[in-house]
Amino acid sequence: MERQASGILWGDICYSTDKDTLITRENACLVWEDGKIAGVYDRLPEQFRAYPVEDCRGKLIIPGLVDLHIHAPQHPFRGLKMDLPLLPWLNTNAFPEEAKYQDPDYARKAYEIFAADMKKSGTTRACIFASLHLPATKILMELLEEAGLETYVGKVNMDRNCPDYLREGEDAPAVTEAWLEETAGRFSHVKPILTPRFIPACSDSLMEALGNIQKKWKLPVQSHLSENPDEIALVQALHPQSRFYGEAYDRFGLFGGDTPTIMAHCVHCPPEELEMMKERGVYIAHCPQSNTNLCSGASPVRQLLEAGLQVGLGSDIAGGASLSIFRAMTDAIHTSKLRAALLDRSLAPLTLEEAFFLGTLGGGRFFGKVGSFQEGFEADVLVLDESKIPHPQPLTLRERLERYVYLAGDDWITKKYVKGRCVC
């Protein structure tokens, strides 16, 4: 497939400009130059006539989707063993599976399937947890580079409250720096992200060392926060001096501010924690299906958005079973509705506009100007295949988008561009 940094797509175009505003442009053209959006036009302006044109008239065209939280080594057991809450689920399911990535052959076999699934999905950007293993993490980065998505990948750090067979030793900081050195400058599309698993699995001395590595390498950070009541109680016991879970990260300089940070889940954050996240610009990866599968609860996601926090969506494979961020959008609406129906009917649930925003621009902002078709945004673009959902009557563009989001199969993507390059 031709790789192109500039191009033109004709079709039916939808994108968000903020959480409440969905722009729909029927039979319009989307133009990008040097990988960045030039604009959306009803007629092609003269100055772009030289760019290659793809005629997708009649098809939906939207920004690429953003997955702010996914565990690559858990991909083989998505949809399996869904009968435990978080902490026993980690010990019984996640840790034994992740231990297999000690073996680079297994890692390659499993990560090839993962990278292929990511490539054919609607996701163009992702923040990815690997396992703690250095060789396997490098294999993952190589395969994702080939797939062409723009990703952050983190070698996981963990040295307590985890089984011996999946626990780092005192050399954890040195191994982490070796990983950064060995991969530095090797990839165009894959970048490293510092990844302490979560406070329960990281000793203070490890966190301190990671804080120093962050400062030295200016890395972004991803971890987990306030997912489950038992986890929160465990953090309180481990860090009695912290007023709330997030403060335990903050002590080590790993909670936003100058450190671009994503915290997954944030289902049960107390008000002071949310206040600090807002001040520090910490991103929330809302993972509705995982929160349901692991009985963690239902995030007050609409209230978080209204409070001005930065929120995107995560598939959280394999707490979540589905890789699809379209599915995450409807899961977010569903859990928001059940939260309203079961806890407080005065809470208005998430709208389609808000859910679509979360899966595109909401998460995209973590990557910069990503997730919209406004001028200057990076040209991550999907052309959607609606052929499996014929309908007997004319639909508006907004209706077609809603219907697609609710019904889309995992591979109903006709074309996918990342930074203007066609990747499939």
Q: Enumerate binding residues for a copy of itself (CB under 8 A).
A: 76, 78-83, 100, 106, 109-110, 113, 289, 292-293, 295-298, 321-322, 330, 333-335, 337-343, 345, 349, 351-352, 388-393, 395, 399, 402-407, 409-411
φ and ψ at 193, to 5 degrees? Answer: -140, 135
CA 4 – CA 51 distance, rounded (Å): 9
Nearest distance from residue 76's CB to a copy of itself, in Å? 5
* Distances in whole angstroms, Cα of residue 47 to Cα of each of 25, 261, 280, 285: 21, 40, 42, 40
Q: What is the DSSP string of 291-339?
A: HHHTT-----HHHHHHTT-EEEE---BTTBS---HHHHHHHHHHHHHHH
Nearest distance from residue 160's CB to a copy of itself, in Å? 27
Which residues are CB-neighbours of 211 under 8 A, at least 6 positions away?
252, 253, 254
Pick between residue 124 and residue 293 the one whose CB is nearest to a copy of itself.
293
Nearest distance from residue 241's CB to a copy of itself, in Å? 29
Nearest distance from residue 106's CB to a copy of itself, in Å? 7
CA 111 – CA 350 distance, rounded (Å): 34
Nearest distance from residue 245's CB to a copy of itself, in Å? 18
CA 264 – CA 74 distance, rounded (Å): 16
CA 44 – CA 410 distance, rounded (Å): 32
Give the total residue count for the chain: 424
Nearest distance from residue 112's CB to a copy of itself, in Å? 8
Pick between residue 14 and residue 40 the one whose CB is nearest to a copy of itself.
14
Pick between residue 222 and residue 228 the one whose CB is nearest to a copy of itself.
228
Pick between residue 349 and residue 364 the one whose CB is nearest to a copy of itself.
349
Pick between residue 316 and residue 402 the one whose CB is nearest to a copy of itself.
402
CA 307 – CA 329 distance, rounded (Å): 19
Pick between residue 205 and residue 396 the one whose CB is nearest to a copy of itself.
396
Pick between residue 167 and residue 337 the one whose CB is nearest to a copy of itself.
337
Q: What is the DSSP string of 22-45?
A: EEEEEEEEEEEETTEEEEEESS--
Pick between residue 80 and residue 178 the one whose CB is nearest to a copy of itself.
80
Q: Which two tokens stand for residue 364?
A: 């995209």
Pick between residue 151 and residue 292 the one whose CB is nearest to a copy of itself.
292
φ and ψ at 309, to 5 degrees? Answer: -75, 160
Nearest distance from residue 33's CB to a copy of itself, in Å? 35
CB 152 within 8 A of CB 183: no
CA 197 – CA 34 distance, rounded (Å): 37
CA 421 – CA 424 distance, rounded (Å): 9
Nearest distance from residue 342's CB to a copy of itself, in Å? 5
CA 146 – CA 341 distance, rounded (Å): 45
- Cβ neighbours, 10 Å, residue 106: 15
Pick between residue 293 and residue 372 the one whose CB is nearest to a copy of itself.
293
Planar angle of CA 255, 126, 277, nearest 5 degrees: 20
Pick between residue 255 and residue 356 the one whose CB is nearest to a copy of itself.
356
Nearest distance from residue 128's CB to a copy of itself, in Å? 17
Nearest distance from residue 129's CB to a copy of itself, in Å? 18
Nearest distance from residue 348's CB to a copy of itself, in Å? 9
Report DSSP state, residue 90. Answer: I
* Distances in whole angstroms, Cα of residue 186 to Cα of each of 179, 180, 190: 12, 10, 9
